[in-house]
Structure 1
């Protein structure tokens, strides 16, 4: 490269400019921070959520992807999951143990709630419009505006309950 000529990739180049708000400007093309280009990694993570049809931790998703031979770091899984949540393509809840769990959510989904199995992570979407009415009534009663809410219900699903019952019975059978 000739002296005095900026390469588009050199540090002194005006080709890439990182502005205060983390917006990247590339030769007059502006890419906003939350509107980055399509991500293969994000799509792979979304596919795992669709296939598993349960709430999973970041570590569980990472393990599945690595088991499929996909090279991805755990930090990348965390970042991409948060992007999916921001885009409305994944739900995130906090488990009773305090761990953040993720599940697939269709793009057209509206605000909704789940009941989640503590053993297998299976989730059932709750049809509970009374919750929205209750939240609004409580906000009005206590003079709150611009409210949001989160309802997370955990239990043991029928399939896992059957497994638990049979394992308890097998442990309590008298030896003959």
Structure 2
């Protein structure tokens, strides 16, 4: 049964904030940014909202190197895709991976699995960060 999401002021504030960000941010960082804008939205509300937005496909979630969940507004809402993420600045590019999709389907079939889901994040260094790091070294 699909859960109907209420369009609350807090949810709208979080979506508007995420619309203005290019990189992934933690719930705590989102909360701090909201507070800096004068919002009274509490941290627990931010956590509930990003979880709900993730489940509905409106927000992407990744696991950072330290295991923390970080969130970003999904440009390809509702479509399956993967991410190429800069390890320094957090710049993210949404990418398709048809070869990865084929591979995942083959692995699942070989082991008699169905309804398999997967997430792929490629982490590297973007051209801007590579240039900046080269200039300082």
Q: Which has the higher helix share?
A: 2
TM-score, length of structure 1 as denominator length: 0.71
Gaps of 5+ in 2: none
Q: Which runs of 4+ in 1 moved over 6 A?
A: none
Return closer, same or farther for 1:149/1:167 CA change in 2, 3 Å cut-off.
same
Q: Secondary structure at the match of 2:83?
A: strand
State the Cα distance separating 1:34 from its structure 2 match.
3.4
Q: Secondary structure at the match of 1:138?
A: helix
Higher RCO (CA < 8 A, seq sep 6+): 2
TM-score, length of structure 2 as denominator length: 0.90
Deviation string 1:19-53 (CA, Å, 9 cap, x unpaired) is xxxxxxxxxxxxx9932431111111111111112
Aligned residue among 75, 82, 85 for 1:116:
85
Give the aligned partner of residue 90 of structure 1. Answer: 59
In 1: Cα distance, 2:99 partner to 2:2 partner: 37
- Give the number of aligned pairs: 137
Q: Which has the larger radius of gyration?
A: 1
- Root mean square deviation, CA, Å: 1.9
Do 2:75 and 2:94's aligned partners in 1 also have CA atoms closer than 8 Å? no
Gaps of 5+ in 1: 1-31, 169-176
